[in-house]
Amino acid sequence: MKNGVLALLLICLCLTVPNVSTQAQGNVGLRFVFGTLHPKGNKMAFLMPLRLDDNATFVLNWGFIGSYQYYFHKKRWSVKVAQGMYSDCAKLFAGHTHLGLRVNLLRSERHYLEFGFGPTFVYRETWYRFPDYHQETGLLKNTNRWQWNFVWYGGEIEYDYKLNPKLDLTVNAIPGYPDFITFGLGLRYWPKGHP
C-alpha cells in the first residue's frame, strides 16, 4: 500500500512539470453518476434498494465525478485526474480517486471516443453493517468502517460529443468487469476552446 501511494504521488509531481508543447490543452469535467450494471446480476441484490429487478442487473445510483484532463500530444494523448463521490448500490457513501493516461481513439469534428487506464483508489462504507452480507470476492480490504482497494489498472471508456467550441456532452463507463459497470453523464469544459 505504501509503495502504491508513493508511486501515485511521484506521478502527480511529474505532471506538475510544465509542458512546452504548443498543442497542449486541458478541460474540466463534471459527470452525474446515475447507475450501475451487474451483467450477471448480484447475489447481494437484496441489499440494493434501488435495483430495477430482483437480480440487481441494473441499480440506480447518484453522485458526481469531477475531473481535470491535460492533453500533452495534440488531442490524442492525455492525463486525467478524477475524483468520484457517489452512493453505492446499497445507498452508502462510496468513491474513487484516479490518475491515468487517456488515448483518443476516434477523432472527428464532433465525436470523440477515449479509453483510459491507470492507478485508482476505490472505497466505500462497509457492507458488513448488514447482517446477511458476505463478500463475494477477495478484492476489497476491510476495516470496521470501510472497504477499499488500490488497483494499478483502473479504467474508463468515455464518449464525448462537441456541443460548441468550449463545451462537450460526455457519457462514461467505469468498468469493474465482469462484476459491474458504472455509468455517468455530464459535461466537460475547455477554457481555451478545443485544440
Residuewise pLDDT in 10s, the chain (195 residues)? 555 544 444 454 444 444 434 445 899 999 999 999 999 999 999 999 999 999 999 999 999 999 999 999 888 899 999 999 999 999 999 999 999 999 999 878 899 999 999 999 999 999 999 999 988 777 889 999 999 999 998 899 999 999 999 999 999 999 987 889 999 999 999 999 887
For residue 26, give the nearest of 107, 81, 64 by alpha carbon: 81
pLDDT of residue 12: 46
pLDDT of residue 68: 98
Evaluate the omega torsion of the peptide bond into residue 119 and state whether it is cis, within 30 degrees of 0. Answer: no
Instruction: Quote the CA–CA distance of 186 and 192 in Å, as a whole number.
Output: 19
| Contact (Cβ atoms closer than 8 angstroms) between residue 93 and residue 122 | no
Q: Are strands 77-87 and 167-176 parallel, antiparallel or unpaired?
A: unpaired
pLDDT of residue 138: 77
- 25-189, what's its fold? Porin (2.40.160)
pTM value?
0.84
pLDDT of residue 113: 96
Q: Which residue has 452525474 as its cell numbers?
A: 32
159: burial class by Cβ within 10 Å (0-12, 13-18, 19+)?
middle
Q: How far is CA 5 from the centre of its chain?
A: 18
For residue 186, give the nearest of 169, 174, 161 by alpha carbon: 169
* DSSP bridge pairs for 66: 30, 83
Count the neighbouring beta carbons within 10 Å of the beta carbon of residue 101.
13
Q: Which residue has 472497504 as its cell numbers?
A: 147
Q: Which amino acid, 99?
A: L
pLDDT of residue 4: 52
For residue 32, give the nearest of 149, 138, 182 by alpha carbon: 182
pLDDT of residue 16: 42
